[in-house]
Chain A
Amino acid sequence: KNEVEQSPQNLTAQEGEFITINCSYSVGISALHWLQQHPGGGIVSLFMLSSGKKKHGRLIATINIQEKHSSLHITASHPRDSAVYICAVKAPPMDSNYQLIWGAGTKLIIKP
């Protein structure tokens, strides 16, 4: 079982729909990242969370440390939101490992 699981793997929705992408992890973490990979390959960091909720424009990220679960929400989705959304977690500072543990990504397609 992967330490970071994302669901769904693929998601197709109509423009305007509310989108939720989930990330569950099985390890202790100090932070969780949500990233967006565009069709051309470029990756953009959207959020880094260690607790609670963050909002940026139409994007909202939440994390529940006790349940080891995070969600990324997109309100009023638009075709330009089509991308792969990746969740990655960072082990606590006492672990000198600099690796992020990566989810496999969720491929989102928003149809006009």
Chain B
Amino acid sequence: SQTIHQWPATLVQPVGSPLSLECTVEGTSNPNLYWYRQAAGRGLQLLFYSVGIGQISSEVPQNLSASRPQDRQFILSSKKLLLSDSGFYLCAWSRGPSMQGYTFGSGTRLTVV
């Protein structure tokens, strides 16, 4: 069966520090991968999606970047965190453009102080 792992679960980082959140998927190949952010009390906002290794699409201009160095690995990064980067970050995967089997990771709660 397919599983998705996301870590860390919580993170407190000072303003200006770098960020690296990692997401890996097991049990499938060539998944579509997504990074979402959910600000407190708000809905989900798609940040990045990837349909293959090295292929990253950005939905929202921001202080963040994403990379997909391997088929089942998706990394969210920042060189210098801003206070506004605080939020709940979720990784997800799906099978192809039909988005069958949309599955979320457990999320990372990031607090920038």
Contacts and interface: CB of A to CB of B under 8 A. Distances in A.
Asked whether A and B interact, the reply is yes
Interface of A: 30-31, 33, 35, 41-45, 48, 86, 88, 90, 93, 96, 98-100, 102-105
A33 B102 contact: yes
Contacts of B99: 31, 33, 48, 90, 98, 100
28 contacts: A30-B98, A31-B98, A31-B99, A33-B99, A35-B102, A35-B104, A41-B88, A41-B106, A41-B109, A42-B104, A42-B106, A43-B90, A43-B92, A43-B104, A44-B104, A45-B103, A45-B104, A48-B99, A48-B100, A86-B44, A93-B97, A98-B34, A98-B57, A98-B97, A98-B99, A99-B46, A100-B102, A104-B42
Please classify how large the interface on chain B is, using the bins under 10, 10 to 19, 20 to 34, 35 or more. 20 to 34
Contacts of A44: 104
Interface in B5-46: 32, 34, 38, 42-44, 46
Contacts of A35: 102, 104
